A and B are shown apart, each in its own frame.
Chain A
């Protein structure tokens, strides 16, 4: 950066401030603050309710106030150790929350990891190699993605059912089957996203590495993937969160309590059968949000712009 640019950066805001005294600026800008405030309240409203419900001793949603009258951890206890019959409703003799949580982590983690890996491989091929059917392949990926996976639920059920007869490890009621289904679902859009990013990595870097003596695999792992870290992190995060939230397909593929993922398992708390137990449900949701938040915190440092800066003259 030249000196003149640095000077410009410092002086411009200073001049702006002098021209616009603070009071007048607020008079002009108050509506921006108002919009921000409304958006904030709108976004935090559900969070506040979940927090409230999770720590509330009363088990009904409508009757409770936003600030719980009795703060309690009973709801969390219910999730992990079950609940004795106190109200005359059906009880949760066996608490499965721990295994639902573990299942969700396994499924979401595996899906995120494999989505990134397979998507990156496909995207690299589409971005760098010229082969017959390249264009058609890309268009097909996009087209397939136009159809919601929900439309295919029946087909997915039948496929998993029949495949399970031969390969038990990817049959009905297995986590691996669920992961496979998820992988197919999001591959299209992820490949497109990554291809777009790979296209911005100068191909001279690949060529340079090849001349330096790298095999195509070494170019991919050693040069392209590290530079694509931002898009890989974004896609890992998106697919982790999406998988964590997915209900319909999981409820079709999984059949028994100890195989359920969090959405399928927690649903039972507010299902008609058991009447509505919003307390444990909210508590379960709250815990489930922790890993997603942690993952975001961890990946955040990769989600930065300008990582390729300095590769080529710019």
Chain B
């Protein structure tokens, strides 16, 4: 067991492309850290530098109290699970799992015990004599896990280990990896582009973009208090609704004006964000999570709350809830931060977004209770939970907080 530290780590590839910029991270002993970000953000490169598969251009990475920059992978006492599993096809499952131990000249008896232990932990005991090609995707994934845990290394490195599985199996293995990690208490760095995976698995999540660390926090903190527009739009599904709003002073308080509608900003929100008052008379990016919106017609005592009115474009009934896409006037935030963070959107939708920005129309997604009876083309009043409003500077994209 050991902690892992990145200190000002840079990575420049031979062709001059810089993949990681001055990355500093601290992963505690026994912690499960998820590195998340859109493709090409440098997360896999960062992981491979810990593994020793990529050279570190500048800065240091240490595991425990050893700086590992110049150590070969085999001397780092780490294990890695690859995206495509990378099982040795000419070896049986048992030999695959035992491979690392045998290279270390572990006594045969210990090897057998450890392989049996790992196989039991992963439910692979009946398959030990099979070849990888005779296994299903999920079983191969387990073998890859087995090969990692059997050596009881100081650190597990996992590079999108679930991305080749189908959706249902992914959810199951997600829980299983979490369980095994908690059981073994081995420091783990897990790379994924899937923010749901990041949120559900990590003790801490580090969001990266274009080689730079954006924010490292607990999943809850990341969700409720994103540091900038990129993190705000990347974390959460459906994404945070972001719209341009003008801050105005009124009766000693602040209101946010979206085109022809407005939301009063509660005093406690304003006091948490003292810098917000300085934006009076200027435009900011206002962020509202889908679950902060509710169909006003099904809320009994919501008569005097803050409301936004819009026209329903389409609804997605999920059984437990209803996602309503509601169009209202106001200019959507379409800075690079947001476009890159909104990885779930297709290109056509992005074009549509730009078009709407021209026309000063924006689409909010509301997570309504399943009781809601809104249908496309209805005009709906949405009750807004203003206690969790987010504000970002339009220029810098950073969250507006203290002065």
Residues of A within 8 A of B (CB): 130, 202, 204-205, 207-215, 218, 223, 226-227, 307-313
B351: Cβ under 8 A from any A Cβ = no
Interface size of B by Cβ–Cβ distance < 8 Å?
A: 34
Q: Is the CB of A212 within 8 A of B87?
A: no
Selected contact of B90 from candidates A204, A212, A226, CB within 8 Å: A226
The docked-state distance in angstroms from the alpha carbon of A212 to that of B74 is 6
Residues of B within 8 A of A (CB): 14, 51-53, 72-74, 78-80, 82-90, 99-100, 103-104, 131-135, 137, 140, 147, 151, 157, 164
21 contacts between A and B (CB under 8 A): A202-B84, A202-B86, A204-B82, A204-B83, A207-B51, A210-B72, A211-B78, A211-B79, A212-B100, A213-B73, A213-B100, A310-B89, A310-B131, A310-B132, A310-B140, A311-B84, A311-B86, A311-B132, A312-B84, A312-B87, A313-B137
Q: Is the CB of B73 within 8 A of A210?
A: yes
The docked-state distance in angstroms from the alpha carbon of A67 to that of B131 is 53
Nearest A residue to B82 via CB reads A204
Selected contact of B74 from candidates A202, A214, A227, A309, CB within 8 Å: A214
Cβ–Cβ < 8 Å partners of B90 in chain A: 226-227, 307
Interface hub of B89, B140, B147 (most chain A Cβ within 10 A): B89
Cβ–Cβ < 8 Å partners of B147 in chain A: 208, 212
Q: Is the CB of A310 within 8 A of B134?
A: yes
Nearest A residue to B153 via CB reads A211
Selected contact of B88 from candidates A213, A223, A313, CB within 8 Å: A223
The docked-state distance in angstroms from the alpha carbon of A312 to that of B144 is 10
Selected contact of B14 from candidates A130, A211, A213, CB within 8 Å: A130
Cβ–Cβ < 8 Å partners of A307 in chain B: 89-90
Q: Is the CB of A309 within 8 A of B88?
A: no
Beyond known contacts A205-B88, A307-B89, A311-B87: 15 more, CB 8 A cutoff = A205-B86, A207-B51, A208-B86, A208-B88, A209-B88, A211-B157, A212-B100, A213-B100, A308-B89, A310-B89, A311-B86, A311-B88, A311-B132, A313-B84, A313-B164
The docked-state distance in angstroms from the alpha carbon of A208 to that of B161 is 13
Interface hub of B52, B90, B103, B151 (most chain A Cβ within 10 A): B90
Cβ–Cβ < 8 Å partners of B87 in chain A: 310-312
The docked-state distance in angstroms from the alpha carbon of A301 to that of B99 is 25
Interface hub of A213, A226, A313 (most chain B Cβ within 10 A): A213
The docked-state distance in angstroms from the alpha carbon of A64 to that of B87 is 62
The docked-state distance in angstroms from the alpha carbon of A313 to that of B82 is 11
Cβ–Cβ < 8 Å partners of A313 in chain B: 84-85, 137, 140, 164
